[in-house]
Structure 1
Amino acid sequence: MHYTNPVISGFHPDPSICRVGEDYYLVTSSFEYYPGVPLFHSKDLVNWEQLGHVLTRTEQLDLRNARSSGGIYAPTIRYYDGLYYMTTTNVSGGGNFYVYTDDPRGEWSDPIYVDQHGIDPDLFFDEDGSVYYTTSNDAFGQGAYQSRIDLKTGKRLSDVTLIWRGTGGQYPEAPHLYRIGEWYYLMMAEGGTEYGHMVTMARSKRPDGPFESCPHNPILTHRSLLKSIHATGHADLVEAADGSWWAVFLGIRPAGYPNYHHLGRETFLAPVTWTEDGWPIIGNNGTVDEQMEVDNLCAQQVKVGSVRDDFDATYLASYWSFLRGNDQANRSLTEKSGCLTLFGSASTLNELGVPAFVGRRQQHFECRARVHLTFVPERTGDEAGITAYMNEQFHYEIAIMQTQSGRKLIFRRRIGSMWKVENEMPWSDDSVILTVQAHKTHYEFGFASREEESEVPFGRGETRFLSTEAAGGFTGVFIAMYATGNGTRSETPAHFDWFDYEVTE
């Protein structure tokens, strides 16, 4: 059969995976977005359902001081002695910690912090009951650092020592330790999570080394290759029930030349084979394709379809995220039945605050998002609409806004230090349909008075300016509903009756 990469599209980087019986669980990074650490489940490695998030309470996650692309860095998920463990780093406050649960679909514990510097932590449970905690050093990086810890308290039982420097690539990070047969394998990412990204491997007869480097490192990389997938790295291994081995890892799909990517780093899958002398090979001799032919998967890959959220439930669907916190004063599902209601925060999309923002990841190059908004602002500065958002300095929006000269429909672009309302018109209706049509190279923004009417084009923006190459950082584009009082909290409710996400590719 064949399957299509990425298996989880859009901004879902730094995947980590574990298997329990016939079930696979996978987590990814979330950075400044709340809740933290998206959690997925699969029976076949190809089709993934998001169960929710691991970090869902303020006791677990404080992002108030998170810069864009700060917050939660690469997680690791493991299963041991009846419990699931997830460890990660909050680089914006708290450092390294882990949480646990006996049911990944339920609540996870409060954090247990580990006094060990670095990022991208890994938990390894050895056969003798020892628990090893391995991190990569901070920004400048020297390699993989390790200590033994008390699992109940997180306290270190040994000094932190450097166990492997990697093969010489910049930013050695994302260490994962495995016991496979008689060997302890240590896998890392090197080269930076950019176009030189790669996966390297070493092994030892002891969990704390010394480690010898794989003779055919890197075992995965797309650097300098003419491929539709780039920046492959930050991998994790899992053994299937049939004894086959697989790797999940991040990659990007650039949209143009010179290369740029705006969907973020995505989750890819590849089979793993082993050489006669016991070294792994990921994919096709260290490379992967969007269409992968394999013999040992029997899954029929289900194409992701279009989704309408009518906001009829008492809770938001698992794919929705907020910026830097769960300020429930900003939103309600009960203020107006069948609507998501936002109350404009003082924070705007141009700030490192906690705005009234409910968004989902853009997961396809060609897609269309539409919302039905009812909004009757009275105070100057009140504003509500829909945004294509990369970070506080790079975003586009179409919105209803109360100005000194009256209520208007506006289209605005923010590109670095430059911003401009590029189109505006008087608006007297109480409701409007707002649309973002995404293409690989650009966005088209439009509106209609009613759902059955044709949309009127109102603005346009290049995807390039919402890419990592232009905007910086480690995230991807969100399509979000928002409301703001532009410096003052607004009491005017913005009622979103529904949100459509339609795949058009």
Structure 2
Amino acid sequence: MPGDFPDPTVTKIGDTYWASATSAEWGAVFPLFTSKNLLDWELVGHVFPDKLPDWAGSNFWAPEFYQENGRTYVYYTARKKGGMLCVAVASADSPEGPYHDHGPLVGQEAGSIDGFAMPDENGDLYLIWKEDGNSCHQDTPIWAQRLNDERTALIGEATELFGNDVRWEGPLVEGSALVRHNGYFYMFYAGNSCCGKGCNYATGVARSRNLLGPWEKYDQNPILDRNEVWKCPGHGTVAEMDGRWFLLHHAYLAASHEFVGRQGLLSEFTWNAEGWPEFERRSPQAAPLTNVSELNIAEEFEGDRLGLEWQWPIGQQPTTKVRDGQLHLQAGASRLGALVARRTHVATYKAATTLDFANLPTDTFAGLAAVGDPYNALALMAGNGQVQIWHVKSGKQQCLVQVFVDPCDTITLRLEVWGGQRYRFAYSTDGATWQPLPTDSFSLNGTYLPPWDRGVRIALVAQGAEGNSATFNNFIVRNHR
């Protein structure tokens, strides 16, 4: 799963594998993918495609499936508005939805994250989760507590299973995913720092005859660690296919790292003579994509709505119309304005869009942006007879360059980036001759763009008075190794 797909989860329902991943601060929330072979995935929907749960405001992390009696449950993390991180649950009559949210199950003072539902040896269903103590310089115990018959509330007392007490785990253990095999419960879990340039995440495993313990950690942990290609592998879910065992987990590609985000990898493991899982060479064996052009984007806005791949900042879903091969994006007044975005798949690429320039309303700007989040972006914008480069950092917007353009019906804007860091911008009024925008140096530096937990997106942007709109004719991304 190339691009920004952290904390991936997978389960088999009938003859189909279903997968999802962390959405963080991008909607729509919790993508739903299907596959017959664990390799070829199709995006078919979202758990929360439009309306968010009323109680939740941000940090939509780590969904996990549980299927029972024909009903699908998704246990997930989100932050209560004005409050702590919680584990919550939504359910549906079929895995594609629609899902009904049942609200939070647990929200400890330090926060509760990474919920996973697992039946014990007697068939009673328990929720396993992490107390987010590292957020306040405390330990991070893994807890278990029984779920009610409706699977929508906790009952009884919570039991602590284990915490971060081994050196490699650093300040935390998290991301629990359980499977039962040959009389043992096995818990795959992640330890240490998940994200960003300085991450040192890795994967460990523990086992127990009984769900509530005692749990034994493998003395050869971590069983999955970095290599020269992939960094910080962790937080995954187990899948079995034709007698082979896999962990669907995330890792950073060392060559592009935080600029693309944590990508979804499938790593195969076997069971050794002592009954422990083993990965070949103790590191991800996935090869980086050699033909990145397969992930190129050539969007001509066919049909009558945007495709499922498009995203927007949580709580800021824009008003869009797709008709006659054009996207009409209603403007927003703050910072960058309204935007729709796509994940990046590599750190070196070109992106372009052609928009109706003559019909842009006065004081409305539209264009193309590399976006970490709405507070951090580099954008090439057209409006008021000009082309401008906007630098947005920590919510402060600055116009770095402005160039007046002769009147024309359409204008094509182009963004080029190398290694996620060096940016150049150009425009064309005839689709053939490019005019580079002057900057103080050869290129602009975009090192500041990615947040600690997310990769960079490429967005179409419309900024101006609400009610005004911009019209885009295409969206093109060409990837390079």
What residue number does 2:308 align with?
318
Match of 2:326 in 1: 339
CA-to-aligned-CA distance 1:20-46 (integer Å, 9 cap, x gap): 344221111011111101222222222
Q: Which residue does 1:370 correspond to in 2?
A: 352
SS of equivalent to 1:91: strand
| Residue 423 (1) aligns with residue 401 (2) | yes
Matched residue of 1:216: which SS? Answer: coil
- The 3-state SS of whatever aligns with 1:39 is strand
**1:134 corresponds to 2:134:** no
Aligned counterparts of 1:277 and 1:303: Cα–Cα separation in 2: 44
Residue identity in the other structure for 2:128? T
1:89 is paired with a residue of what secondary structure?
strand
Please tell me the residue identity of whatever aligns with 2:418: H
Alpha-carbon separation, structure 2, partners of 1:446 and 1:308? 19
Q: CA deviation at 1:504?
A: 3.5
Higher strand share: 2
- Structure 1 residue runs of 5 or longer lacking an equivalent are 1-7, 293-300, 350-354
Judged with a 3 Å threshold, the aligned counterparts in structure 2 of structure 1 residues 177 and 166 are, in CA distance, closer, same or farther, namely farther
TM-score scaled by length of structure 1: 0.84
Q: CA RMSD in A?
A: 2.5
2:267, 2:286 within 8 Å by CA — same for their partners in 1?
A: no
For structure 2, which runs of at least 5 residues remain unmatched after alignment?
Answer: none
CA–CA distance in structure 1, aligned partners of residues 381 and 476 of structure 2: 17
Q: Which moved more, 1:271-280 or 1:453-462?
A: 453-462
SS in 2 for 1:424: strand
**Where does residue 471 of structure 2 map in the other structure?**
495
Report how far residue 313 of structure 1 moved: 1.6
Q: What pairs with 1:384-423 in structure 2 (closer than 5 Å)?
A: 384-402=366-384, 407-416=385-394, 420-423=398-401
Partners in 2 of 1:97 and 1:46 — Cα distance? 29
Could you tell me how far apart the structure 2 residues matched to 1:408 and 1:302 are? 34
> What does 1:454-469 align with in structure 2 at a 5 Å threshold?
454-458=433-437, 460-467=443-450
* TM-score (normalizing by structure 2): 0.87
The answer on 1:274 being equivalent to 2:271 is yes
Matched residue, 1:254: 254
For residue 87 of structure 2, the aligned residue among 87, 96, 109 is 96
The one-letter code sitting in structure 2 at the alignment partner of 1:436 is: L
2:429 to 432, 449, 461: 449
Name the residue aligned to 1:85. Answer: 73
1:76 paired with 2:80, answer: no
Paired with 2:351 and 2:30, the residues of 1 have a C-alpha distance of 24
Q: Classify the secondary structure of the residue corresponding to 2:2.
A: coil
Identical counterparts, % of pairs: 23
Does the 8 Å CA contact 1:143/1:162 hold for their aligned counterparts?
yes
Which amino acid in the other structure matches residue 244 of structure 1? R
Alpha-carbon displacement from aligned partner over 1:449-490 (angstroms, at most 9, x marks no partner): 133x133322643343324xxxx42011010011122xxx33
Instruction: Return closer, same or farther for 1:417/1:58 CA change in 2, 3 Å cut-off.
Output: closer
- How many residues end up aligned between the 2 structures? 456
How far apart, CA to CA, are the structure 2 residues paired with 1:11 and 1:463?
18
Per mean C-alpha deviation after superposition, the further-off stretch among 242-251 and 169-178 is 169-178
Alignment of 1:182 onto 2:169: no
Which residue in the other structure is 1:295 paired with?
none
The correspondence of residues 191-202 of structure 1 with structure 2, limited to 5 A, is 191-194=192-195, 195-202=199-206
CA deviations over 1:281-300 (Å, ceiling 9, x no partner)? 12x232124429xxxxxxxx
Q: Cα gap change, 1:275/1:155 in structure 2, threshold over 3 Å: closer, same or farther?
A: same
Query: After the TM superposition, which of the residue ranges 127-136 and 171-180 deviates more from structure 2?
Result: 127-136
State how far apart, in whole Å, the 1-side matches of 2:177 and 2:269 are: 16
Contact 1:261–1:464, Cα closer than 8 Å, also in 2: no
Check whether the contact 2:70–2:94 (CA below 8 A) recurs between aligned residues.
no
Does the CA contact (< 8 Å) of 1:84 and 1:100 recur in 2?
yes
The 3-state SS of whatever aligns with 2:106 is coil
Between stretches 454-463 and 10-19, larger displacement belongs to: 454-463
Relative to structure 1, the CA distance from residue 443 to residue 309 in structure 2 (aligned partners, 3 Å threshold; closer, same or farther) is same
Paired AA for residue 246 in structure 2: W
